[in-house]
A and B are shown apart, each in its own frame.
Chain A
Amino acid sequence: MKQRSYLALEGISVEFPTRAGRFCALDGIDLEVDKGQFVALIGHSGCGKSTLLNAVAGLVKPTRGAIFLDGELVDVPGPDRAVVFQDHSLLPWLTVEENVRLAVDKTAGGKSKAERKDWVIHNLELVQMAHAAGKRPGELSGGMKQRVGIARAIAMNPRVLLMDEPFGALDALTRAALQDVVMNLQARLNNTVLMITHDVDEAVLLADRVVMMTNGPAARIGEDLTVSLARPRNRLEAIDTVEYAEARSAVIHFLHERYRNPATLAA
């Protein structure tokens, strides 16, 4: 029998019932991710990237196929697959510290109160947000909220970190700062990460592999590109390398030549 990868998606199809019949969002997706690998999923809007991520998170049930994590079948949501949501999804009635604490309390079985508090603060320090521990999300900027969203996810010590277009709602400069945060975290923690993005540079800069999806409906994986940039990475050094330029060019050709945005085709 074949040895499964750390995270293995096998023949994932997702169909939604609609008034006009069944809508097939994903059609037979196979994806294997090794432990510690950072995979970026890229594709045009509506290609089912979020559906795929939600299937791994357990928030969407695949119509066919199965997802295995470390050899175990996963089909319900759980804190071992922490999600960084696009809209950060912090609970507005809790402080920054309490938001992270809620996640820690669900995952840090057996730890004392003091240990949990230290762990919360430690994770907030990793994203440079310990200074705002007592603030509520409403008092923070978008970038700061997403830093807390990241802290909440990594504080759960997930087996896979899922990021659903984490920086999509941020301005370019804030996004770059957050990408640096993720790069630093990846250098320190070496998480297994599945990240959705629209941004070619973000995908190439952060990921070990860029998985490109074809346009929906019935989206499939079109191409799987390995980014051979050395780790740990640094934005300024990376952008001047040949590997960066090649990877960037490959992704752009895929997105804008072979699988053009259906919206611009129609226009």
Chain B
Amino acid sequence: MASPSPGKTNGPSASTGGSATELGVILPYPEEAIARRSFEPVAAPVHPLIRSLRSVAANVTPTLLMVGALLAFWQLLCGSLDATFPSPLKVWQESHDVIVHPFKGVEIGLTHLSIQDGGDVGIAGHVLTSLGRVLIGYSIAAVIGVALGILIGQSVFAFRALDPLFQVLRTVPPLAWLPISLAIFQQAQPSAIFLIFITAIWPIILNTAVGVQTIPAAYRNVAKVLALNPVEYFARIMLPATVPHMFTGLRIGVGMSWLAIVAAEMVQGGTGVGFFIWDSYNSSLLTDTIVALIWIGMVGFALDRMVALAGRIIGRAG
């Protein structure tokens, strides 16, 4: 150790703390300086798992309290014997089988999933069947919607030609498409998928178009100065700049396609959560309908979050 400069205190006992200078010389802190410094009491270390559990609890507790309060209110309101609408307790008693055995008739393996054809299938089975249909209809809507959105966002002529048409068609409710869909396809399966497709596609088209139209002029100028060709412009500038708008459209679209499922499954009877609702209504099993509503809501919520998450991941990856 090199000898420290004369100005520095170098008490023999003050060798606990020190700082490395640029020359690699360790200069000990003067003892008084160490004594002068006060330290905040250090909180007991908290395991990160416990800390994250706490933050989850802080987020979820108000929701749980609210749900509990609503259930209690509902029970109070409909608990009497002459109530026309079933109370939560009654739902639990009468639809006990539907609630606790959702996967009846469903076989889930690591690589395969089979749902018993017809007969007595649990509600999860119906939901999975519906999800399969939504997946097909929504995927087609996503691909065609993004393509059409880019077309009308990019070309003023295409925008003027098609936008009014889209604006009119997007207000048509799914149920109104039902007869048309049946007339076009004659068969239940493709008509059901068409219904989902035609409901989901409009917000995807329109939001993608807005995204393309609002690409900042700065990015367009960069593309011009770099002389990017159309393919490079599409991949390097347009797509990444449009992703946030595109995923707004895809999120609204997945919600709407899930909304269309009841209409779609009125066409295609036999399976699906839409059919389940229709069927329970026809058999006057109102409590089953309530259970199905909750399932639809939860699944719709999960779908929305999944698309939002995908948007975030893709947006970040650029």
Q: Could you tell me which A residues sit within 8 Å of B by CB distance?
A: 57-59, 77-79, 81-83, 85, 87, 89, 91, 93-94, 102-103, 106, 156
Contact = CB atoms under 8 A, between A and B. Distances in A.
B46 interface: no
Given A91-B237, A91-B240, A93-B318, A82 B218 contact: no
Q: How large is the interface on B (under 10, 10 to 19, 20 to 34, 35 or more residues)?
A: 10 to 19
A91 B219 contact: yes
Contact of B221 (A78, A89, A94, A156): A89
Nearest to B222: A89
B236 A77 contact: no
Nearest to A86: B218
B218 A102 contact: no
B240 A93 contact: yes
Interface stretch (B124-132, B223-231, B279-287): B223-231
A59 B221 CA distance: 7
B227 A78 contact: yes
Contacts of A79: 225-227
Interface of B: 218-219, 221-222, 224-228, 236-237, 240-241, 243, 315, 318
A106 B237 contact: no
A79 B318 CA distance: 24
Nearest to A85: B218
Contacts of B241: 93
Main secondary structure of the interface of A (DSSP, over half): loop
Contacts, number: 44
Contacts of A102: 226, 236
Nearest to B229: A106
15 contacts: A59-B224, A77-B224, A78-B227, A83-B221, A85-B218, A89-B218, A91-B222, A91-B236, A93-B241, A94-B318, A102-B226, A103-B226, A106-B227, A106-B228, A156-B226
A29 to B, nearest CB: 21
Contacts of B236: 91, 102
Nearest to A93: B318
A243 B224 CA distance: 40
B219 A89 contact: yes
A98 to B, nearest CB: 8
Contacts of A59: 221, 224-225
A103 B318 CA distance: 17
Contacts of B318: 93-94
A57 B228 CA distance: 15
Contact of B225 (A83, A91, A93, A94): A83
Given A79-B225, A93-B243, A93-B318, 19 more contacts: A57-B225, A59-B221, A77-B224, A77-B227, A79-B227, A81-B225, A85-B218, A85-B222, A87-B218, A89-B219, A89-B221, A89-B222, A91-B222, A91-B236, A91-B237, A93-B241, A94-B318, A102-B226, A106-B227
A106 B221 contact: no
A167 to B, nearest CB: 17
Contacts of A103: 226
Nearest to B316: A93
A59 B217 CA distance: 11
A89 B216 CA distance: 9
A58 B225 CA distance: 8
